Structure 1
């Protein structure tokens, strides 16, 4: 149980309690900057919780701990394993690598980026361009090897692509124009009858798209089950299209260097400490006792803390299926995936590849019903040495998921270069179950939902952070103060590393 609390106005021995999960870290920072006393505890000995990133040695230790843990102790992680070839594998030293447990890309129009700017935390996170989105094409009678086809996501892309027939291009152009005004009164009448149904049905009925063209659109949503609703699908694609070019030509999304979303947690924790928050890793809550408006917490460290407000993350509630992930370090720079295709665009550090539902086969010979997504990361992410890359593959957890991810890794390697298939140097597989998905205010205790499994950073996950902030601060505070911090007086940027 990860927790956050506030004890402003109480005795000096009483301090609040909080978690180092990615989204609770900015919360503790915001509260500490708003004059609250914050104690931020986490039973893990690392920052970020389910959003953490590990060196190779840390990854092996973590995987072993998940394997050895009981169901209650491992939280929403259900299994983890490490695979590496025998002998001299070509790996560098362990800390030359950073493997993210939950890699996510962030649209340029994301509210998260706006909050990082208003809170001044953006100065300490380096963002890299997410380049092309690709569709995986399996072997056919006319093609003896699998291939990758780039997804056009602007009108110019559609015009120049040779992968889509002319008639289909017109339908795609019409759809892209529709999405840019999808929330207008006229367009609402078109899609609202389909709002809660699959986006695929809307594309088929209103834009006459065939199954193949639908996969191009669905791939941009990064939907884990491929069944995203029309309402959510249009919103996601709108954000993708309007994010294009915001930070530079040729890309719509970014990725934080040095470990992805976990880097945001690290920066927030350090900035919170500058603001007066106290952090305790490898510390949990052993017992909790309520007395009036006071909560007494007995910690596993032996300390006792009193607080008037507690925000905690219950990691054990499981709701539905989760995701299976495979992170693979490969001995190749995979240069063909990281090309700048627009003049003046930065060299991308991340590429996204979609294996559409039905494009892979299970060991029993049946078509796999779920999509698989692969994030290819170059060494520019800081996650591996020059000359190597990391492939993160994700799909919904099923009995066939582990074999499907292994198959996807092999086919992706062949599609990139069938003549020089890069050697896999290290693999980490893990399954992440779904935890609680809604916040539950309960008097002086705020139960925080578990980490999102989405591959696109979901702005809706920021809402519980704001709810918790308001509950701790009280109604007297105005929302304009939320996540908006002035520069510290008399401190220059290069002097204040984490403000």
Structure 2
């Protein structure tokens, strides 16, 4: 058997983040000689999912300055942590992104047959947190109606607001047609709220309902981008079943897709080495020489890696919490025949929270509540992922949002917070780079829903590796391997 150094690899892929792993999937039937390495001892990179013990090790690495785009990571447990189960009972995701049913990612997973190895769960309702104007009363959560049936049945908005909402929802589904473009084109690059206020006469509350559906981290999404995102949400409703527009991969979100993709790469003949990074890179004509941390020296026609250099753009601050409650009220099917959702999304609009110094929150906070059905925590508990743009007050704002949420969803007594993981994720380059035989993926997206633009650099790298053969190959479309399982319904 040839050693690593004796082989001229067609490609060395560094890192097992989602993009690198999808590239391994795309190349899994190519017959190329592929070496796939990762300096981490786990799969998934910035999209990894951790047990409690793995999370501790990761926090230590971030604290040592070897966490790439992550910083300021910390863990806190309740004084009485008796409610926590064993470490492996948890799978806490670094990138808990929901995936809309109309996403190109799902089409590629189906065409490549990789979907059979992933179990998908329904993402349920979206809510708005409403602080109480009366200190004696509890704040509340208001469900956002996003279908015709929900608009008619909701009691959260007035009759006039329902008419405006129905008019807008109908408009969005056909917003690219010539007559509709005349309405929104003058506002294309302006905030979506300008169109909602001026073009549709919506008040601030109704505008918040609409903007929340975009999952915009700053609440200032442009009209052209906002309309595209909302139409994706509306057109995704009912694709895989009634009552939901998005799905979430069980066992840790995008981490599961990354691992399934790497398994496909291994079945296709790729060699995998965890705990192995690159110490030195030496480029020559049509070849890259790599000195690995394992002590091996390898040669490859192409190196594909990820960008982990921070940019000057604003990153995100995240708080992951485990609570001792199943939060059953959030995970109820709202339509007859709909599956029980495993995820619910709650938005805290800008200004709805305040710090101890009475400073109002500058940006929205989004809380994604996950039931034990996701496999991320034991039965009887839930995992909460809270996200906001990174500011000097972000950490405190997230803690305030967590406290407000558990009190709002309690029935007389707030659910106990058993565990908290906090960290910041810095922004990086949003474009791929090619320098000779080295291809660099952009930094991972911090969006709360999967952005299909993430897939474009993967296909770009695939074309470069495949060369002329790319013109005759069908991208991410594979026949069943011999002995593959029968088709199953992958969506639950």
TM-score normalized with structure 1 length: 0.94
What SS does the aligned partner of 2:27 have?
A: helix
Query: 1:407: which partner in 2?
Result: 400
Query: Cα 1:143–1:465, aligned 2, differ >3 Å: closer, same or farther?
Result: farther
Which one of the candidate residues 7, 27, 47 is aligned to 1:12?
7
| Contact residue 310 and residue 446 of structure 1 kept, 8 A | yes
What secondary structure sits across from 1:289 in the alignment?
A: strand
Deviation at 1:211, TM superposition (A): 0.8
2:34 corresponds to 1:38? yes
Q: Secondary structure at the match of 2:193?
A: helix
C-alpha distance in 1 between matches for 2:275 and 2:135? 57
Secondary structure, counterpart of 2:82 in structure 1: coil
- Residues 1:158 and 2:151 aligned together: yes
State the shift of 1:275 in Å.
0.4
Residue range with higher mean Cα deviation, 252-261 or 182-191: 182-191
Which of 348, 360, 363 is residue 356 of structure 2 equivalent to? Answer: 363
Check if 1:29 corresponds to 2:25: yes
Hey, what does 2:490 align to over in structure 1? Answer: none
Q: Is 1:218 paired with 2:211?
A: yes
Match of residue 48 from structure 1: 44
Q: CA deviation at 1:366?
A: 2.1
1:290 Cα deviation (Å)? 1.4
Q: Does 1:177 align with 2:170?
A: yes
> Counterpart of 1:132 in 2: which secondary structure?
strand
Flag structure 1 segments of 5+ consecutive residues without an equivalent.
1-9
Shift of 1:305: 1.0
Distance 1:87 1:157 in 2: 42
Query: CA 1:450–1:107 in structure 2 vs 1: closer, same or farther (change >3 Å)?
Result: same
Once the two structures are superposed, what CA deviation does each residue of 1:330-389 show, in whole Å capped at 9, x if it has no partner?
Answer: 001000000011000000000000001111112221221100000100010011111111
Label 1:198 to 1:479 Cα distance change in 2 as closer, same or farther (>3 A): farther
In the alignment of these two chains, the number of paired residues is 482
State whether residues 378 and 389 of structure 1, in contact with CA within 8 Å, keep that contact through their aligned partners in structure 2. yes
Q: 2:318 aligns with which of 316, 320, 325?
A: 325
**Distance in 2 between the 1:162 and 1:238 partners?**
24
Match of 1:493 in 2: 485
Q: How much does 1:296 deviate?
A: 0.7
Aligned to 1:133: 126
Aligned residue number for residue 248 of structure 1: 241
Distance 1:291 1:418, change over 3 A: same
Shift of 1:86: 2.2
Query: CA–CA distance in 1 between the matches of 2:335 and 2:80?
Result: 42
Q: How far is 1:443 from its partner?
A: 2.3
* 1:11 Cα deviation from its structure 2 partner: 6.4
Residue 311 (structure 1) aligns with: 304
Determine the structure 2 residue equivalent to 1:346: 339
1:222-233 equivalences in 2 (<5 Å) = 222-233=215-226
Structure 2: gaps (5+ residues)? 488-492
Q: Which aligned pairs between 1:247-266 and structure 2 lie closer than 5 A?
A: 247-266=240-259
TM-superposed CA distance for 1:15, in Å, is: 5.3
The CA distance in 2 between the partners of 1:14 and 1:225, in whole Å, is 44
Shift of 1:249: 0.4
Provide the C-alpha distance between the structure 2 equivalents of 1:191 and 1:452, rounded to a whole number of angstroms.
Answer: 27
Partner Cα separation in structure 2 for residue 462 and residue 355 of structure 1: 30
SS, match of residue 224 in structure 2: helix
Task: Give 1:458 deviation, angstroms.
Answer: 0.3
Distance 1:480 1:344, change over 3 A: farther
**Whole-angstrom CA distance in 2 between matches of 1:477 and 1:65:** 39
Deviation at 1:492, TM superposition (A): 3.0
CA contact (8 A) 2:10 2:302 kept: no
What's the counterpart of residue 477 of structure 1?
A: 470
- SS of 2:74's equivalent in the other structure is strand
Q: Could you tell me which residue of structure 2 aligns to residue 5 of structure 1?
A: none
Paired residue for 2:366, among 365, 373, 385? Answer: 373
**Cα offset, 1:60, TM superposition:** 1.1
**Within 5 A, what are the aligned runs for 1:271-282?**
271-282=264-275
In 2, Cα distance between the equivalents of 1:74 and 1:370?
26
Residues of 2 paired with 1:405 and 1:142: CA distance? 21
Secondary structure of residue in 2 paired with 1:312: strand
